Structure 1
């Protein structure tokens, strides 16, 4: 049996074999209440996507500016991310904007690194994921978290390169890591720095609305 905290909504997720009863599962949870309590307390504060708050875009905090009288939808400039219309719709419009931006930026990143590496996925999808930033199937389908648009470009590129490398090595063998390091900026050093960044900051991004 395993326990984990869903960083996005703070729920406790229990995974257990079919042979384990619900009663045994609950007992397992109760045995680990100290860990659950401390893990929940350690979660970063959930980000609010509303006027006066900030949203991360490509690794930088960007002010959210509500423009109630504007008729331009949502737009980004040097002052911040402007959102027009009713304030009640600000969060949804910010997320819609981020999804659109993610599709644009991640599509370009996949195309760029696919050409560099000579590895072409059968399909690329953006998803709302809970634990992994990307994944690759044996059929060559790559799935990426749309939240990568919040990370610095070199972090986004690392995840893309990582998943593309699985098209050649469907494992985490020495050959796989050698291929990843060959295409990462600053090689193995850059790859390890990207992994550290995700470890240190990933949960906060998952907590953004």
Structure 2
């Protein structure tokens, strides 16, 4: 960038770009990009040690702000009801919607047999439209269990569906996670072939939990 010296870091799995500016005298600021990476703006006069210290400080501040934006299970369930009314005519009626910590290879999962929806806690703090699109994806599976054209017609009704897919793929890349593939048919609780490990739910569900994107 013209007039700026940039350097990249990886801080605890977070991709960070530091932009040093001679025009910036005293202030340090930071923001999170749509792919989940962080940009930190600092004065050029800072030493590398001071720069590192500010990077750590600003990441901590951003994470604190993210935590304040994270909805609880009740808010998530209410959001699901609203999305169902807006995009699915109110036909998708989940019995429960909740955050879970054991989905490291899935953004969300749904068991059509009992109407339960689970979202990965990795989504907490992401933009609202991203969470909404994941929710709508899982709500659509209450109406169409597979990934047929009829399913995608429902799941892609959100106006920012493609943008959300791009965000999640970019975020996974920034974190160096294997990004879930688009349009894969669910192959049971273990999802597509490959490592499963502790990210799986519990015993197999008859409704075939779905892997998002």
Taking structure 1 as the reference length, the TM-score comes to 0.49
